[in-house]
Amino acid sequence: MSQLAAPPSRRPAKPVSLLSSRQLGLQWLERSACVLLFFAIWEFLPRAGLVNSAFLSPPSAVLAAIVQLAQSGQLGKHVAASLQRSLAGLILAVVAGVALGLLMGVVRRFEAFVDPLLQLFRQVSALALFPVFLLFFGIGEASKIAIIFWAAFWPVLLNTISGVKQVEKLLIHSALSMGASRGFIFFKVILPAAAPSIFTGIRLAGAYSITALVAAEMIGSHAGLGFLTLNSQEIFQIPSMYAGIVLLAILGLALNYGLALLEKRLTRWRSGLEFHE
């Protein structure tokens, strides 16, 4: 009597191993090597006397200036003022840019009607319109927000239009063939398909809002990182000037990271479309 062959044993699937702390440290060091090298060279040049420290403060002096600003309470005031202005202009730009971009992307006749005027306005920079904003809105917060809005509006608008136009026609025709209404197609097909391009425009707008912030805080400001940078340059407090520049870069990185997290949360459905080996 022959014995029944035992079923082949199945090896349990190997769980995805977590990276060790050493591997994580090596990855962090590899990704940060260029930045660390940059700061090391920056520290070395004025310390060695190769560059006049009166014009290029070393990072250690810049860090000391940031700590001094934090201890005096000035740092929180400047960061809060700049963040409030940039977010206000960015939010207005996102609302207006997405709404107008969706309308232009869906209604071709409307796009053909307004596109020549928008192409004309798009060539005018925010700095060129600075005197106009001052005349209409004064030197208060409204003119500063208007400058940031103008700089951030265009990437949102153009990427929204591009995202709507790149939606696969097959998806729309398939939904129509199944009796879907135009409202259903817009909210369930067009808007989700255009979301990646829209968020690309929003992240670009976030970077532009920080860039325009310095110009917005040039006149009539008593707080803000742009004001800190320009005022420190005028009174020749060079470490504080570089502190303002570094803080603007950090604020831009933080805003971009926050927008990336928001995009990941709102487009979580895209993870199901990725192919895994």
Task: Using the predicted structure, report yes or no on whether residue 10 has a pLDDT greater than 60.
Answer: no
Percent of the residues in the chain that have a pLDDT greater than 70, as a whole number: 88
How much is the mean pLDDT over the chain?
A: 83
Task: Using the predicted structure, report yes or no on whether residue 95 has a pLDDT greater than 90.
Answer: yes
Task: Using the predicted structure, report yes or no on whether residue 141 has a pLDDT greater than 70.
Answer: yes
CA separation, residue 11 to residues 14, 165, 168, 276 (Å): 8, 49, 43, 21
Percent of the residues in the chain that have a pLDDT greater than 90, as a whole number: 35
Q: How far apart are CA 112 and CA 117, in angstroms?
A: 10
Task: Using the predicted structure, report yes or no on whether residue 12 has a pLDDT greater than 60.
Answer: no
Question: What string of H, E and C letters represents the secondary structure of 6-75?
Answer: CCCCCCCCCCCCCCCHHHHHHHHHHHHHHHHHHHHHHHHHHHCCCCCCCCCCCHHHHHHHHHHHHHHCHH
Residue 38 covered by a domain: no
Residue 259 covered by a domain: yes
Question: What is residue 220's predicted lDDT score, i.e. its pLDDT?
Answer: 75
Task: Using the predicted structure, report yes or no on whether residue 234 has a pLDDT greater than 90.
Answer: no
Residue 164 covered by a domain: yes
Question: What is residue 103's predicted lDDT score, i.e. its pLDDT?
Answer: 92
Question: What is residue 16's predicted lDDT score, i.e. its pLDDT?
Answer: 42
Task: Using the predicted structure, report yes or no on whether residue 86 has a pLDDT greater than 90.
Answer: yes
Question: What is residue 272's predicted lDDT score, i.e. its pLDDT?
Answer: 53
Mean pLDDT score, 212-219: 83
Q: Crossing angle, helix 191-216 and helix 141-165, to 10 degrees? A: 150
The CATH number linked to 131 is: 1.10.3720.10
**Is 127 or 75 the better-scoring residue by pLDDT?**
75
Task: Using the predicted structure, report yes or no on whether residue 3 has a pLDDT greater than 60.
Answer: no
Q: How far apart are CA 187 and CA 172, in angstroms?
A: 12
Residue 57 covered by a domain: no
Question: What is residue 14's predicted lDDT score, i.e. its pLDDT?
Answer: 46
Residue 142 covered by a domain: yes
Question: What is residue 2's predicted lDDT score, i.e. its pLDDT?
Answer: 43
Residue 104 covered by a domain: yes
Residue 190 covered by a domain: yes
Domain encompassing residue 218: 78-267
Tokens of 257: 């990271």
Residue 49 covered by a domain: no
Query: Within a 10 A sphere around the Cβ of 194, how many other Cβ atoms?
Result: 24
Domain count across the chain: 1
Task: Using the predicted structure, report yes or no on whether residue 1 has a pLDDT greater than 70.
Answer: no
